[in-house]
Amino acid sequence: MRLARATMIACVVAATPALAQTTPPAPSAAIAEDFKPSSLNQPGQAYPQVNSQGYVRFRVTAPDAKAVRVSLGLGGRGGTVLTKAADGSWTGTSEGPLDEGFHYYHLTVDGGTFNDPGTLNFYGSTRWESGIEIPARDADFYAVKDVPHGRVEQILFASPSTRTHRRAFVYTPPGYDAADDKRYPVLYLQHGWGEDETAWSNQGHANLIMDNLIAARKARPFIIVMTYGMTNDVRPGSPGGLASFDITPFRTVLIDELIPYVDRHYRTQADAPHRAMAGLSMGGFETKLIAPKNLDTFGAIGLLSGGTIAPEDVAAAPGYKDKVRLTFVSYGSRELEGGRTRGGPGRPSTDPRANAEALKRAGLNSVFYVSPDTGHEFLSWRRSLYQMAPLLFRDR
């Protein structure tokens, strides 16, 4: 199946670090000198650091370099410019506080693109990028706590259509390892453009979010399956790129290969009421392309910063109203500011909140969530999963 260019451009939002935002500080604001190493630093690394206001301080050693810049922290001018000290180190502080949550970034050292040796790497923008975490006020919901922990399992499943064995990660909830016959619902959860099947565990903490929800009895224990959505062959905005994106290969892998594998190898409730599909950004877009056309496979749908389900979408999918038990749509608040979600490249052409309300008025279980003070980034999606999970697989 190939899609008209207009449809693609209107719906896909790329998960790019360029969208990380800073709030311009008041001119007189003092920067608190309480910087601490970021929680994502590599073992023993002192930098980068974050202060209590959300400012970031970078330090990199490159004694003979002419210029070092960080792709984060200074909206208008392409990043934070570091300055050199006598000891050969380069240091700089973001112009303003960064949004809470996770941000991708990289260094530019004498014109070359490198990662910051101080931090861990995360797959985004089709490469392993540096990551930094600005502590969120609500970080507790994805913290490692003294609760029973599920597992994140790497599987390799045969994919005849792509002539290889493909990787997926499977979250199994606490208690799944009990040698009993209990069966579990399954959420198929997709990453965004530029990312891959590692994103929801590494950047997203999907496993910890579920562990904590289950321990608090706020969500029913279910399995989550995360695989590569084959999204990175096209670059959003490149001429002809998204227009030529074809969902068919991924739909084949997902529906004909991965789902049967999971239902064969895990104790699943293998029917549509107990199988959901959701995704962030381009993964939400893929969800919208696949799930409403396969309502005997999926009984719940989630689009996280990844489009909208309008009444006409429901009308175009026979059985949607009866079969879809949850339609969950979410955005980061910054994505909604100034009408940003409507029109223009990367944004839905109709208002997602109005669509969600229209679905609700039509009697559907439609939920719209907005993550406060976040943009097109992972804290929006962690929070969205936290909001969505308790609503999934509930008896109506």
| Residues binding a copy of itself (CB under 8 A) | 42-44, 60-67, 88, 107, 109-115, 117, 120-121, 126-128, 144, 146, 149, 151-158, 164-165, 170, 177, 179, 181, 201, 207, 232, 265-267
Residue by residue, DSSP assigns 182-232 as --B-EEEEE--TT--TTHHHHTT-HHHHHHHHHHTT-S---EEEEE----T
Task: Please give the radius of gyration of the chain, using alpha carbons only, rounded to the nearest integer.
Answer: 21
Give me the count of residues in the chain: 396
Whole-number minimum distance, CB 290 to a copy of itself, in Å?
23
Shortest Å distance, C-beta 193 to a copy of itself: 13
Residue with tokens 């570091």: 82
Closer residue to a copy of itself in complex, CB, 175/237: 175
Kindly report the number of other CB atoms within 10 A of residue 190's CB atom: 31
Task: Compute the CA torsion angle 203, 206, 211, 214 (nearest 10 deg).
Answer: 150
Tell me whether residue 29 or residue 143 sits nearer to a copy of itself (CB atom).
143
CB of 380 vs a copy of itself, minimal distance in Å = 24
Residue 53 beta carbon to a copy of itself: minimum distance, rounded to whole angstroms: 28
Q: Which is nearer to a copy of itself, 149 or 321 (CB)?
A: 149
Compute CA 347 distance to the chain's CA centroid, rounded to the nearest angstrom.
16
> 144 vs 315, which CB is nearer to a copy of itself?
144
Which of residues 181 and 322 has its CB atom nearest to a copy of itself in the complex? Answer: 181
Is 57 or 106 the residue whose CB approaches a copy of itself more closely? 106
For residue 185, the minimal CB distance to a copy of itself (Å) is: 18
Q: Which residues contact 319 (CB under 8 A, 6 or more apart)?
A: 295
Question: Which one-letter amino acid corresponds to residue 242?
Answer: L
d(CA 184, CA 134): 34
Q: Hey, is 331 helix, strand or coil? A: strand
**Token pair for 291:** 């799930």
Query: Least CB distance from residue 170 to a copy of itself, whole Å?
Result: 8
Taking CA atoms, 373 is separated from 22, 106, 140, 215, 379, in Å, by: 11, 23, 17, 27, 10
Nearer to a copy of itself, 120 or 303 (CB): 120
Q: How far is the CB of 91 from a copy of itself (least distance, A)?
A: 13
